[in-house]
Amino acid sequence: MRIPLDPHSSQPLYRQIEDYLRQAIRSGSLPPETRLPATRQLAEDLGVSRITVKNAYAELESDGLIASRPGSGTYVSPPLLAPASPDRPADIRWPLWQQDLPAVEAPAIAKPPGRDLNARAHPDPIAFTGVGDPGQFPVRNFLKSIQTVIRRDGVAALEYSGFDGGYDPLRETITQVLASQGIRAQPEHVLVTAGSQQALALACQVLLKSGDAVLVENPTYNFALELFRTRAVKLVGVPIDEAGMQVERVETLLQQHHPRLIYTIPNFQNPSGACLSVERRRQLLALAERYNIPILEDDFVGDLRYDGRALPAIKALDPGGRVIYIGTFSKMLMPGLRVGFLAAEGPVYDHLLRSKLVHDLITSTLMQRTLDDYVTIGRYQTHLRRSVRLYRKRRDAMLEAIRRHLPTGVSFQSPQGGLFIWLELPEDVSALELAPFAEQQGVGYSPGSLFFVEPAQGEGYLRLNFATQDSQRIEEGIRRLGEAMHRLRQAAR
Identified binder of ligand PMP from the candidate list 52, 267, 328, 441, rule CB under 6 A = 328
**Between 42 and 201, whose beta carbon lies closer to ligand PMP?**
201
To the nearest whole angstrom, how small is the minimum distance from the Cβ of residue 126 to ligand PMP? 20
**Residue pair 32/76 in contact by the 8 Å Cβ criterion:** yes
Q: Does 192 interact with ligand PMP (rule: CB under 6 A)? A: no
What residue is closest to ligand PMP based on CB? 195
Find the length of the chain: 493
To the nearest whole angstrom, how small is the minimum distance from the Cβ of residue 196 to ligand PMP? 3
- Which run of H or E residues covers position 369? helix 365-376
CA pair distance 275, 206, nearest whole angstrom: 28
| Distant-in-sequence, close-in-space partners of 151: CB < 8 Å, separation ≥ 6 | none
For ligand PMP, the binding residues in 291-320 under the rule CB under 6 A are 298, 300
For ligand PMP, the binding residues in 196-235 under the rule CB under 6 A are 196-197, 221
The mark string for 122-151 relative to ligand PMP (x by CB under 6 A, - otherwise) is: ---------x--------------------
Q: Does 341 interact with ligand PMP (rule: CB under 6 A)? A: no
Q: What would the DSSP string read from start to end of 151-167? A: HHHGGGGGS---TTTS-
- Which run of H or E residues covers position 287? helix 278-291
| Distant-in-sequence, close-in-space partners of 49: CB < 8 Å, separation ≥ 6 | 43
Torsion, CA 223, CA 226, CA 231, CA 233, rounded to 10 = 110
The mark string for 101-120 relative to ligand PMP (x by CB under 6 A, - otherwise) is: --------------------
Identified binder of ligand PMP from the candidate list 113, 114, 132, 195, rule CB under 6 A = 195
**Residue pair 437/409 in contact by the 8 Å Cβ criterion:** no
Mark residue 323 as left, alpha or beta (left: phi above 0; alpha: psi -120 to 50; beta: remaining): beta
Q: Does 340 interact with ligand PMP (rule: CB under 6 A)? A: yes
Q: Which stretch binds ligand PMP (CB under 6 A): 22-30, 121-129, 328-336, 465-473?
A: 328-336
Of the candidates 339, 384, 109, the residue with the CA atom closest to the CA atom of residue 223: 109
Of the candidates 117, 131, 136, 114, the residue with the CA atom closest to the CA atom of residue 420: 131
Q: Does 270 interact with ligand PMP (rule: CB under 6 A)? A: yes
Q: Does 469 interact with ligand PMP (rule: CB under 6 A)? A: no
To the nearest whole angstrom, how small is the minimum distance from the Cβ of residue 131 to ligand PMP? 6
**Between 335 and 482, whose beta carbon lies closer to ligand PMP?**
335
**Between 125 and 266, whose beta carbon lies closer to ligand PMP?**
266
Residues near ligand PMP (CB under 6 A), total? 13
Residues that bind ligand PMP (CB under 6 A): 131, 195-197, 221, 265, 270, 298, 300, 328, 330, 335, 340
